[in-house]
Amino acid sequence: DAKTTQPNSMESNEEEPVHLPCNHSTISGTDYIHWYRQLPSQGPEYVIHGLTSNVNNRMASLAIAEDRKSSTLILHRATLRDAAVYYCILHKETSGSRLTFGEGTQLTVNP
Amino acid sequence: ETGVTQSPTHLIKTRGQQVTLRCSSQSGHNTVSWYQQALGQGPQFIFQYYREEENGRGNFPPRFSGLQFPNYSSELNVNALELDDSALYLCASSSVTNEKLFFGSGTQLSVL
C-alpha cells in the first residue's frame, strides 16, 4: 500500500484558516485521497475525499497537487471543536472498507 | 438516520478469557468493518463483512472472529485474550455505493 506522511502536530488560532499537509509520493492512479478526523473519545469521522480535482464540502476543502504527490486539507475558519487528530489515507475502491491509518496530525486550536 | 452504535462502551477482562463486542450499523448500510486502535496510534483494520460473509481481513490471528446478522448488526469475538489486546475497538459501517465509512465511538477493552 502507498504510504502517507503527515506532521505529528500543528497549532492554529481560532477563526483562522488551517492548512494540513500530506505527502504521498508513491500514490498510484487508482488511489483516492481520503481525510478522516478523530475527536477525543470518539471514532474517526469522514471529512472529505478526492481523486484529482480539488474538492469542497461543508466541512473543508481538499487541494490536490497536479502530480498528486501531495495534498492539503483546508479548514477555512478553525473552531475549538476542530481540535482532533487528522488522518490522510490513500484508498482504492477495490479495498472496500479497508482503510490504512497512519498516526495522523494532532491539531491544537488556541482560543 | 441512526448512527453506528457499539456496546458496551467499556469492558474489563482477564487474560485467557473470551469477549464479544457488538455493533449496530447505520440504517441502509450492508458492509461492516472492525478496527483495533492502540493508545496513541491510528486504527488498524481487523476485517470486514458484506452480506454476512467475511470478505477482507487484516493482519490479525484467527482468534479474532466476527459475525454479521441479516439486520446488519455485527459482533467481534476475541478468544484467549492477551494483554496486548487492550485497545479501543471500533466498528464502521458503509454502503456499497458510498465510499464514506461511519464509525461508532468504540468499545474500550482492558485485559488484565
Chains A and B form CB pairs within 8 A to the count of 62
Give B 34-63 residues with CB within 8 A of chain A: 35, 40-45, 48, 50, 55-56, 58
Give mean pLDDT, residues B51-68: 95
Enumerate residue ranges in chain A where pLDDT < 50.
none
| pLDDT score at A27 | 94
Asked if the C-beta of A42 comes within 8 angstroms of chain B's C-beta atoms, the answer is yes
Give mean pLDDT, residues B84-111: 92
Neighbour tally for B31: CB within 10 Å = 23
Which grid cell sits at B34?
A: 472492525
| pLDDT score at B18 | 98
Collapse the DSSP code of A82 into the 3-class scheme (helix H, G, I; strand E, B; otherwise coil) and give the result: helix
Nearest CA distance, A84 vs chain B (angstrom): 12
